């Protein structure tokens, strides 16, 4: 069972990391459009539509990845003080009441929404040269399917945690820097940092 969980975690991670490269493409595109608009005086009316679709795709396709890493926003002020069993019980209730119905509705409705867009060869109406938006709309059911799959894994994890009293492990990935652990690794103390800050201030006042 744990192998299956980690496999689905890895799938969600792969999808999220693959689509994360859109941020690089989006950065280059925005930079080029600014250059083209203000330096070459050749703006592209379709650029704004494409930027929105690229960002929307990135946002949606990162949903399952974020869920796999327990990275979605929650009220940690109280949640962090709960025992694992209490956390899992609360999560399970919220998954059943809100997550599953909402994501299932998005996936189901998104399929027909995308199918209709493809059938009519839908283009954006925001600008005169509106680009096709049916490839973007297919992301709705696709993102929903990945999110639903990862959500089922999280529900099973909640059940296991309620039974065993501890959260099952997750696939490892890049994590936020733990400042205290970093200080231990490089053998730096708070006093050393304070002395360095004072030295920088003194040097700055001299200049």
The mean pLDDT of 73-98, rounded to a whole number, is 87
**Which residue shows structure tokens 């890895």?**
10
Predicted local distance difference test score (pLDDT) of residue 147: 95
CA 67, CA 44: separation in Å to the nearest integer? 36
Q: Global pTM?
A: 0.76
In this prediction, residue 183 carries a pLDDT of 63
Kindly list the domain boundaries of the chain, sorted by start residue: 2-175, 178-207
Record the tokens describing residue 177, joined without a space: 């820097």
Closest CA relative to residue 34, chosen from 22, 48, 20: 48
Q: How far is the C-alpha of 89 from the C-alpha of 103, rounded, in Å?
A: 20
Q: What is the 3 state secondary structure string of 41-74?
A: CCCCCCHHHHHHHHHHHHHHHCHHHHHHCCCCCC
How many Å from the N-terminal Cα to the C-terminal Cα in the chain?
A: 64
User: From its phi and psi, is residue 94 left (phi > 0), alpha (psi between -120 and 50) or beta?
Assistant: alpha
User: Is residue 145 very low, low, confident or very high in pLDDT (cuts 50, 70, 90)?
Assistant: very high
Reported as a single tens digit per residue, the pLDDT across 123-139 is 888 776 788 999 999 99
pLDDT, the chain, mean: 86
For residue range 30-75, list pLDDT tens digits in order: 999 999 999 998 988 888 888 999 999 999 999 999 999 887 777 6
Which tokens is 181 given?
A: 């652990």
Confidence band of 142 (pLDDT split at 50, 70, 90) = very high
Categorize the per-residue pLDDT at 11 as very low, low, confident or very high, splitting at 50, 70 and 90: very high
pLDDT at 141 over 90: yes
With 80 as the cut, is the pLDDT of residue 94 above it?
yes
Tell me how many helices (H) and strands (E) the chain has: 11, 0
Q: Write the CA distances from 155 to 11, 96, 135, 147, 174, integer angstroms.
A: 17, 8, 31, 12, 23
Q: Which residues pair with 123 in a beta bridge?
A: 132
Backbone angles phi, psi at 3, to 5 degrees: -60, -40
How is residue 73 written in tokens? 């926003």
| pLDDT at residue number 200 | 66
Report the pLDDT value the prediction gives residue 173, as an integer from 0 to 100: 59
């Amino acid at each position: 069972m744990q192998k299956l969980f980690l496999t689905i975690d890895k799938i969600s991670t792969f999808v999220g990391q693959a689509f994360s490269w859109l941020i690089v493409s989006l950065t280059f595109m925005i930079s080029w459009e600014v250059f083209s608009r203000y330096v070459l005086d050749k703006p592209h009316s379709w650029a704004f539509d494409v930027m929105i679709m690229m960002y929307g795709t990135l946002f949606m396709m990162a949903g399952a990845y974020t869920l796999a890493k327990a990275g979605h926003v929650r009220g940690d002020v109280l949640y962090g003080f709960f025992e694992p069993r209490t956390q899992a019980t609360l999560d399970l209730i919220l998954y059943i009441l809100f997550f599953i119905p909402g994501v299932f509705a998005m996936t189901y409705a998104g399929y027909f929404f995308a199918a209709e867009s493809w059938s009519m060869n839908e283009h954006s109406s925001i600008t005169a040269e509106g680009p096709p938006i049916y490839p973007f709309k297919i992301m709705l059911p696709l993102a929903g399917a990945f999110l639903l799959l990862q959500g089922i894994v999280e529900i099973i994890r909640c059940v296991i945690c309620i039974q065993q009293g501890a959260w099952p492990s997750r696939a490892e990935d890049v994590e936020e820097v733990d400042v205290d652990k970093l200080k231990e690794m490089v053998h730096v103390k708070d006093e050393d940092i304070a002395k360095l800050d004072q030295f920088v201030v003194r040097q700055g006042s001299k200049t």
